[in-house]
Amino acid sequence: MTEIYIPVLIGLILFAILGWLVSLGTKNVTHVDSMWSLFFVIAMLITASQVPELTDRHIALMAALLLWSSRLCIFLTIRNWGQPEDVRYRNIRANNQPNFHLKSIYIIFLLQAFMAAIIALPLVAIMLDDRPYDLQDKIALAAILFGLVFQTIADLQLRSFLRKDTNMGVLNTGLWKYTRHPNYFGEFLIWWGFFIAAVGSSSWLIILSPILMTILLLKVSGVGLMEQTISSRRPDYPNYIKNTSSFIPWPPKK
């Protein structure tokens, strides 16, 4: 696994540098959000290029990853297109002056590349494993596809709500009735699904992938970051917090 992992890491670093170069021209780093899911496609394709023969199992799991990646990349690109730099990155920019345009290569782009390199471990393991398609893979794909559908529905419900919302209200219907972050819960299922598919590979390091993704979703860029400021922007949100599960879907208290 180490032999192929080095070219994967190099590929991710080169892609990150390309993104950084684009940011020098646009003076905006928000496009790194659209790049995020593409890091994993690059990791899987580099690994696939080293495999003697792609099996049905490889193709099924590659298709699942491409579905996830293309949906997320397109969704974020449409959302951010023509918009000013995301407030998260404006804050990072303000806190890292002077010369943020230079510092951003490691603060933003290389950091994401290295995180993606860890999270991509099960993808590399999957492609290097030539065992036949079996029940384990069916369970993994079920988790991945359920997570993908779950987060897609959540994003569509949120987009529809934001188009109609004029009073800074709170979305508490549909999937958002059962969890405050259904899109992040879907992402959680997807990466534990890829881990399940990779269980039994030669490296125990694959467990780092879903653990890191779960930490990111709960404590760093997901739930934790989102809820730091949302209550100040949406007055009804504290009441929503009291009645609705933070992450795992659960019937509301009221």
**Whether 181 and 100 share a structural domain:** no
End of a domain among 133, 149, 179? 133
Q: Which residue has the tokens 């345009």?
A: 101
**Whether 112 and 168 share a structural domain:** no
**Whether 57 and 128 share a structural domain:** yes
Q: Domain residues for 197?
A: 134-254
Structure tokens at 140: 């993994």
User: What average pLDDT is seen over the chain?
Assistant: 92
Burial class from Cβ neighbours inside 10 Å (0-12, 13-18, 19+) for residue 51 reads middle
Q: Which residue has the tokens 């496609």?
A: 41
Per-residue pLDDT reduced to its tens digit, 164-202: 877 778 899 999 999 999 999 999 999 999 999 999 887
Q: Which residue has the tokens 């991710």?
A: 12
CA atoms of 251 and 177, how far apart (whole Å): 8
User: Could you tell me where the DSSP H helices lie in the chain?
Assistant: 2-26, 32-48, 56-80, 87-95, 100-104, 111-119, 121-128, 135-164, 182-198, 208-215, 223-233, 237-243
**Whether 11 and 122 share a structural domain:** yes
Per-residue pLDDT reduced to its tens digit, 88-124: 899 899 999 999 999 999 999 999 999 999 999 999 9
Per-residue pLDDT reduced to its tens digit, 132-161: 999 999 999 999 999 999 999 999 999 999
**Whether 117 and 231 share a structural domain:** no
| pLDDT score, position 169 | 82
Overall domain count for the chain: 2
**Whether 108 and 195 share a structural domain:** no
CA atoms of 133 and 17, how far apart (whole Å): 37
